[in-house]
Amino acid sequence: MKEHKNILKDTHGRAHSYLRISLTERCNLRCSYCMPAEGVQLSPKGHLMSYEEIYEIAKTFVEHGVTKIRLTGGEPLVRKDISVILEKLASLSVELSITTNAVNVDRHIDTLKTNGIKTINVSLDSLNAEKFKHITRRDYFEKVYNNILLLNSEGFKVKVNVVLMKDFNDNEIIDFINLTKTLPLTIRFIEFMPFDGNKWDMAKMVSYKSIMETVYNAFPEDQVHRLQDAPNDTSKNYRIKGFQGSFAIISSVTNPFCDSCNRLRLTANGQLKNCLFSSTESDLLTSLRQGKSIEPIIQKAVLGKFKIRGSMNTLKKLQDPKLHSNNRSMISIGG
């Protein structure tokens, strides 16, 4: 019997069972924390993975222990062959989910259901239409909000991702939490993270500690219940007593979850990133097209993963633009 190598286990003992695949660098929004104002240089079409290549690479990861795949972008639903991609990936023995801005998700409800998608992450950074327009540079608030309600009514588990920025939307924390009073949503507050071109500034970040201070100023402490986090969870989860939904905090900057990280990322042009914060990439697509095994490349990339945030293991290092400006913008990594 052929020996099975655990090519998804790194030198820190972390086994990687979760693959995030970006389907496209394109998006129908222009969020400032994700994309530079001047836009990004898109990869030529021929450099992007076809649906067959996405499937073949994903299949290799599943054979080596990946049990969950999340599709991201850009906006994954702008791909014209999204239904084919979903059908192909749904044939693998894997939990399949998707992250979307929900602008066009109403057109894909049946396709998502048919292919077994039960959990959908939706990006929404403000409940104020003007603020939404400011940050996304598009006027789609009503459409996005109504589609969140639609997804909820159709039985999907909906997680709403909110990137918090000081003096912009940090005064909406309680408004978002109050949505969970009557809706079974999970609101996830995300600390503002540094990427190429997003003008990251530590002063703009709203920390985990600050978020919880806001929560405790609005709700009695005995009404704020700490929930049990799932294994390898990136978020710290809470529920207000009597509320249907919950809220969570993803503190990648002030309180990273690197010790239990089980995630790898595949960009739309077939590059493997072993960490969101790492500027290092490994080219899987070229080897696949040449008929070569991609397994040695995957193993080398996993073994090269740093223990903490792509070697930025202190806030001082994180604030050094030289250490993160060589990374891609978020839209070309995959959210």
| Position 2 confidence tier, pLDDT thresholds 50, 70, 90 | very low
Query: What are 127-133's contacts with CB under 8 Å, separation 24+?
Result: 127/172, 127/175, 127/176, 127/179, 128/172, 131/168, 131/169
Phi-psi region of 95 (alpha: psi -120 to 50; beta: other; left: phi over 0): beta
| Position 4 confidence tier, pLDDT thresholds 50, 70, 90 | very low
| Token pair of 265 as six digits | 């990322």
| Position 251 confidence tier, pLDDT thresholds 50, 70, 90 | confident
Mean pLDDT (the chain) is 88
Q: What percent of the chain has pLDDT over 90?
A: 69
Q: Rounded to whole angstroms, how far apart are CA atoms 22 and 44?
A: 15
- CATH class belonging to 18-333: alpha beta
Query: Which residues share a beta bridge with 18?
Result: 68, 263
| Position 34 confidence tier, pLDDT thresholds 50, 70, 90 | low
Give pLDDT tens digits for 158-175. Answer: 999 999 999 999 999 999
- Residue 61 has, within 13 A of its CA and on its CB side, a CA count of 31
Give pLDDT tens digits for 122-166. Answer: 999 999 999 999 888 789 999 999 999 999 999 999 999 999 999
DSSP letters, 17-66, are -EEEEE--S--S---TTTS-TT---PPPGGGSPPHHHHHHHHHHHHHTT-
Average pLDDT rounded to a whole number, residues 197-214 = 79
More confident of the two residues 256 and 335: 256
Q: Rounded to whole angstroms, how far apart are CA atoms 147 and 77?
A: 14
Q: Rounded to whole angstroms, how far apart are CA atoms 191 and 45?
A: 33
The predicted structure's pLDDT at residue 280: 86
Decide: pTM greater than 0.85: yes
Q: Rounded to whole angstroms, how far apart are CA atoms 191 and 37?
A: 20
Nearest in space to 330 (alpha carbons), one of 19, 15, 20: 20
269, 43 Cβ separation under 8 angstroms: yes
| Token pair of 245 as six digits | 């939904």
Radius of gyration of the chain (CA): 19
Q: Rounded to whole angstroms, how far apart are CA atoms 101 and 220?
A: 33
Give pLDDT tens digits for 44-88. Answer: 888 899 999 999 999 999 999 999 999 998 899 999 999 999 999
The predicted structure's pLDDT at residue 37: 58
